[in-house]
Amino acid sequence: MDQDSYRMLRENVDEFCTRNVEPLALRIEREGMPRDLSAKSGAQGFNTATADPASGGSGLDRESYLLILERTARSSPSFAMYLMLQNSIACRILGASGKSDIIREIASGNKTTTVDILSLNESSSSPGNITISDGKVTGTIRTVILPSSDYLIFQHQDALYLAKGNDGIEILPALGFRGLGLGNVSLKERPVEKIAESGGAALIQETIRNSGREVAAMALGMTGRSIDMAIDYSRVRKTFGRPLKDYEPVAFQLSGFKAQEEHLRTMVFFSTARDEYIKPLATDLARRATKVALQVHGGYGYLEDFGVEKFYRDSMTLSIYFGPSKSDMRVLSREVYGEESGVI
């Protein structure tokens, strides 16, 4: 992507966020994603940004999609996560399974899809307990992000299934991405469609592994916005008669984070470095930066009205949900050592 295209798309996404996401950011945290926001983002082509236009997608290139994730994460990480879940995870799996009809529904914003990704996370020991017979599923799928989705994709005995709706949700404590929620989804004699005969778990895992740069783009957005908020606050907040920005630890730390943010931006958008190199840097930076941003805000940072604490919660949650996982680090170690490493 050339600089002009980058700037134009960035302005376009920022304008969308200023009008449609920013005013709802607090409501998204408290009440979840409003349907009309998915419809508006669908009209912009964000919901299925990278999907094939023949299947109802927008056909944008990866850099444009990364930019959408970064800029939306600045306003609402929950909304950015929603886009990533629909695009990077659901649409890729649905596209590979020939489910163009559902991709079109996602594109319009009328329907949402979630994928059982967390039970496949290496740190999860709760895969759930389901049985499938005669094309019907019964049981519970645990720790589902956006559990209230219209469609749920999950793997069972290495095949991939699609269920429409659910029969109850047990809401779980959600540290981050509260706009999407987290829950155990119950299914009772619910009709399911097998969308892949085998390799279901591998397909989901590969899809997640191929989303490293997308995770980094979201981390970049959270880092950037939280540090910008802290910088703005440090200009106006006075202590001992001077603005916070006049104190070395504040100014130096925030400026240092700004420099690291720019470095990460270069890596995400303009470098050829592998995703495995970028993702650990990005999630680590987001966690460190959002923590300092909250601290600079003092007591006000602890209140959700100020909009900075969500970045602290969401950056930690992002690093738990999407790594870097041990398998990411094993790929990285294999590359560094030129052989299998870090196995004990």
Partner 1 sequence: MCRRRAGLLDGTGKGVREVDFDFTEDQVKFREKAREFAEREFTPELARMFDREEKYPDEIRKKAHAEKVIDYSDPWKVLIAIEELCRQDAGLGISATVPYFGEEVIMLFGSDHLKEKYLNPVNEGRSMMGLAVTEPGGGSDVAGLKTTARKEGKNYIINGAKMFITSGSIADFFVMLVRTSEEEKRHHGLSAFVVESGFPGFKANKLKGKLGVRATDTAELELNNVVVPEENLIGEEGKGFYYIMTFFNISRIFVAGQGIGIAQGAFDRAISILKRKGREYYEKEDIQFAIADMATQLQAARLITYKAASYLFNFKPDPTVTSMAKKYAAETAVFVAEKALEITGVDGISSDLERFYRDAKILEIWEGTSEVEKLIISRNIVKEAQ
Residue 53 Cβ vs partner 1, minimum distance, rounded to whole Å:
35
Residue 148 Cβ vs partner 1, minimum distance, rounded to whole Å:
16
* Piece of 58-66, 86-94, 257-265, 302-310 that binds partner 1 (CB under 8 A): 302-310
121 Cβ neighbours under 8 A, 6+ residues apart: 321, 325
Radius of gyration (C-alpha) of the chain in whole angstroms: 20
Residue 59 Cβ vs partner 1, minimum distance, rounded to whole Å:
33
170 near partner 1, rule: CB under 8 A: no
284 near partner 1, rule: CB under 8 A: no
Query: Which lies closer to partner 1 via its Cβ, residue 207 or residue 325?
Result: 325
Query: Which lies closer to partner 1 via its Cβ, residue 172 or residue 273?
Result: 172
- Using CA atoms, how far apart are residues 236 and 337, in angstroms rounded to an integer? 50
Query: Which lies closer to partner 1 via its Cβ, residue 71 or residue 297?
Result: 297
Q: What are phi and psi of 342, to 5 degrees?
A: 65, 50
Sole binder of partner 1 in the list 191, 303, 335, 337 (CB under 8 A)? 303
In sequence order, the β-bridge partners of residue 239 are 242
Query: Which lies closer to partner 1 via its Cβ, residue 96 or residue 329?
Result: 329
- Using CA atoms, how far apart are residues 61 and 328, in angstroms rounded to an integer? 24
Helix, coil or strand: residue 141: strand
Residue 178 Cβ vs partner 1, minimum distance, rounded to whole Å:
11
What would the two tokens of residue 17 be? 């966020």
122 near partner 1, rule: CB under 8 A: yes
Query: Which lies closer to partner 1 via its Cβ, residue 1 or residue 329?
Result: 329
- Using CA atoms, how far apart are residues 343 and 330, in angstroms rounded to an integer? 8
46 near partner 1, rule: CB under 8 A: no
* Piece of 62-70, 155-163, 202-210, 289-297 that binds partner 1 (CB under 8 A): 289-297
Element (H, E) at 44: none
Residues in the chain, total: 344
- Using CA atoms, how far apart are residues 54 and 51, in angstroms rounded to an integer? 8
Residue 153 near residue 141 (C-beta atoms within 8 A): no
Q: How far apart are the first and last CA of the chain?
A: 42
Sole binder of partner 1 in the list 320, 327, 330, 331 (CB under 8 A)? 320
Q: Quick count: other Cβ atoms within 10 Å of Cβ 70?
A: 27
Residue 230 near residue 247 (C-beta atoms within 8 A): no
- Which residues ranging from 220 to 259 are in contact with partner 1 (CB under 8 A)? 238-241, 249
169 near partner 1, rule: CB under 8 A: no
Sole binder of partner 1 in the list 100, 108, 121, 148 (CB under 8 A)? 121
336 near partner 1, rule: CB under 8 A: no
| Spacing of C-alpha 196 from chain mean position | 25
Residue 142 Cβ vs partner 1, minimum distance, rounded to whole Å:
8
Which parts of this chain interact with partner 1 (CB under 8 A)? Answer: 30, 118-119, 121-126, 143, 172-176, 182, 238-241, 249, 287, 291, 294-295, 298-299, 301-305, 309, 312-313, 316-317, 319-321, 344
